[in-house]
Structure 1
C-alpha cells in the first residue's frame, strides 16, 4: 500500500515509528490549538501531515490555517483532502475527514475576499504588477484575485512610468471584489535616462559670492559696540541711583561731597548715558550691515553689484551698489 503525496509522487507506507510520531504531533497540535497557540499547532500539524499525508492530518492542518487567518491556504489544504484517493478498507475516520474538509471548503469559499486590480495609463505589455511581492500575470489583471483578509501591498510599475505603491485591507467574508484602480503617470522626459549618456549631475542651488571681509568686521564691531552700550547703560543706572540717594533734589550733603566729587558724579551720569546711546546705535548699525551683507550678497557670477557699509561722522548704514 502506498500513500499519495502529489501527482506522480509516492512513498512507501509509513513505518510504525512514523505513525507514532505523527500521532504524538497530532495530539500536541490539538492541545495547542485548543489553548490558543495556533502557530505552534500549525507547525505540529504540518509535520504530521508531511509524515502521513492522510485526510485526518490534512484536516487538522486546514483548521490551524483557518485559526491563523490563512483562509486561502486552508481552502487549498481542504481541497487536497477532498481529492485524496480512497484506499481499499479505508478507516471511517478518513471518510469523516473528507466530509468535514468538503464542508470547510464550502464555508471558506464564502469567507475568502477578493481583489480586482485595474491598471490604466500604460501599455499592457509593459505593466508589472505585484501583490504582496507575488507577480500578477498580465492576463489575470482585472480579474478577481483571492486573498486572505487583512492588509496587502500593491506595487505596479512599467517602463517609462512612475511606480505606484499602495496598501489595501480586505475584510473577512467580503462578497464583492474590492476594486483598486491604478493610473500610472509617465515619467517626465527630463527624468528618463538616455542610454549611453553619463549620469546627470545633481541639481545644485545657485552659489552665492563669498562673504566679504567687511561683513565680518562690521558684525564683530557691532557686537562689541552693543556689549559696551549695555555696560555703560548699567553704569548710568548706577550713577543715577547714587545721585537720587545721596543728592535728592540735586542737593548733595557738603559733608560728603565737595565740589570736585559732585562734578565727577554728574560727569559720570552724562558720559555714561551718552556713550550708551552712541555705542548702541553704532553697534546696531554694524550688526544690521553684517546681516545685510550675508543675506543680500550677490550670486557668484554677478560681481557688478555689492552691499557696501556707510560709516562716517554723520551717517551710519549700508548702500547697495551695482548695475540694474
Structure 2
C-alpha cells in the first residue's frame, strides 16, 4: 500500500510502495536464457530512456523552505511591505508551486497595476489548484481565483497587432517578445502602460510603433512594411559618360584630376625647397673659400670652385622651375576643387605635367577649360 502524507502547504504526496524480493513472484521459473534477454532489454531501456527522463525532470522541490518563505512573505505583506514580501512569494513558488502562493503573487501584480499579469496568475492558480489536498480547501481557492479573474476581466487592456499586406517572412515583436503569426489581429491582454511593436521582413524596411494603453482600453496597431530602397546608382567612372564625368571622384564630386594636380604641386614645391637649400649651401661654401681680389677671384688652394659654382647655378634653376610648376599645379587643383560645387560641365578637365631638364624645370598644363 502507498502511504499518503500532507505537506505544510496543504498538498499531498504519495510515497512509492516498498518492494521486497518476495514480491518478484515467478522469478524462479525463468530460464538462464530468459534472464539474459530480460537483462539486455532492461539495459537498453535505461540507455535509451535515461536522457529523455532527465530532460523531463522537474525543478527540485523543497516544501519546507517554501513554507518558511510563504510565512515570511505573508508577515511582510501584512505590514504593508510589498516590495520585500512579493519576491518571497515568487521564491516560494519556485520551490513548491501551489495555488495559494500563486493567488498571493496575483494580488502583488494587481497592486502594481499589472492587471494582465495578475489575470494570468489567477488562471494559473486554477490549474495548480487541481493538486490541492482537501475538497473544501480546493473549493475555497477556486472561488478566490475565479473572483479575481472576474474582477480583472473589464480592467485588462487588449492590444491587437496587424500587418497590412504582410510580406513573406514577416516577424513581429511586442516589447521584444515574438508574436506568433496566428496571434496577429487577435486582441491579446497586456499590462497598462507603454508598449513597443516592431515588424520586419526580408527586403523591407522595418517599422516600429509605440503605444500606451490604459486599463480597460482596446487598441489596434496596424503596421505597413514598405520595400527597402535599392542600392544607390553608381557615380564612379564606370557609370559616367563624357570627359568631365569620367574625371569625377567616386564620392565627393571633386574631379580626380584636381587631386592628382594638387599632389603633384605639393611634390614639386617640396622638391624646389630642397634645391633652394642646396643652392644656399653652395653659395655659403663659395663665400667661405673665395673672395674678390683685384683682377679676379681668389679661392683657397685645393678648393673646387667650379663644382660649387655649377651646383649653385643648377640648383637655382631647378628651384625656380620646380617651384613655378608646383604653384601652377596647386592653382589648377584649387580651381578644380572650388569649381566642383557648381555645374559639372564647367569643371576644367586639366592637369599639370611637370618636367625637369639639365638646364631647368617647369610644368605643362594640358586639358580643356
TM-score, scaled to structure 2: 0.48
Preserved contact between residue 12 and residue 132 of structure 2 (Cα < 8 Å): no
Matches within 5 A, 1:139-154: 139-154=182-197
Counterpart residue number, 1:48? 92
Find the aligned partners of 2:148 and 2:85 in 1 and give their Cα distance. Answer: 18
Preserved contact between residue 78 and residue 105 of structure 1 (Cα < 8 Å): yes
Aligned partner of 1:120 among 141, 164, 168: 164
Aligned partner of 1:138 among 175, 181, 190: 181
Counterpart residue number, 1:166? 209
> CA 1:62–1:160 in structure 2 vs 1: closer, same or farther (change >3 Å)?
same
State the Cα distance separating 1:89 from its structure 2 match.
3.8
Preserved contact between residue 128 and residue 158 of structure 1 (Cα < 8 Å): yes
Counterpart residue number, 2:148? 104
Counterpart residue number, 2:48? none
State the Cα distance separating 1:173 from its structure 2 match.
2.3
Find the aligned partners of 1:166 and 1:121 in 2 and give their Cα distance. Answer: 17
Aligned partner of 2:251 among 201, 204, 217: 204
Find the aligned partners of 1:304 and 1:116 in 2 and give their Cα distance. Answer: 62
Preserved contact between residue 212 and residue 293 of structure 1 (Cα < 8 Å): no
Find the aligned partners of 1:42 and 1:293 in 2 and give their Cα distance. Answer: 75
Find the aligned partners of 1:74 and 1:2 in 2 and give their Cα distance. Answer: 32
State the Cα distance separating 1:60 from its structure 2 match.
0.9
Matches within 5 A, 1:173-212: 173-174=216-217, 177-190=218-231, 204-207=251-254, 209-210=258-259, 211=262
Matches within 5 A, 1:1-324: 1=4, 12=13, 20-34=64-78, 37-83=81-127, 84-85=129-130, 89-90=134-135, 92=137, 94-123=138-167, 125-174=168-217, 177-190=218-231, 204-207=251-254, 209-210=258-259, 211=262, 296=338, 298=340, 304=349, 323=368
Counterpart residue number, 1:219? none
> CA 1:204–1:69 in structure 2 vs 1: closer, same or farther (change >3 Å)?
farther
Which ranges in structure 1 are unaligned for 5 or more consecutive residues?
A: 4-9, 192-202, 216-288, 307-320
RMSD: 4.1
Q: Greater RCO between the two (CA within 8 Å, min separation 6)?
A: 1
Partner SS state of residue 204, structure 1: coil
Find the aligned partners of 2:158 and 2:70 in 1 and give their Cα distance. Answer: 32
Which ranges in structure 2 are unaligned for 5 or more consecutive residues?
A: 16-60, 233-249, 267-330, 352-365
Preserved contact between residue 115 and residue 180 of structure 1 (Cα < 8 Å): yes
Find the aligned partners of 2:12 and 2:189 in 1 and give their Cα distance. Answer: 32
State the Cα distance separating 1:166 from its structure 2 match.
2.1
Preserved contact between residue 116 and residue 157 of structure 2 (Cα < 8 Å): no
Cα shift readout 1:200-256 (whole Å, capped 9, x = no counterpart): xxx7323462448989xxxxxxxxxxxxxxxxxxxxxxxxxxxxxxxxxxxxxxxxx
> CA 1:134–1:59 in structure 2 vs 1: closer, same or farther (change >3 Å)?
same
State the Cα distance separating 1:179 from its structure 2 match.
1.6
State the Cα distance separating 1:54 from its structure 2 match.
3.1
Aligned length: 216
> CA 1:78–1:161 in structure 2 vs 1: closer, same or farther (change >3 Å)?
same
Preserved contact between residue 99 and residue 132 of structure 2 (Cα < 8 Å): no
Preserved contact between residue 45 and residue 61 of structure 1 (Cα < 8 Å): yes
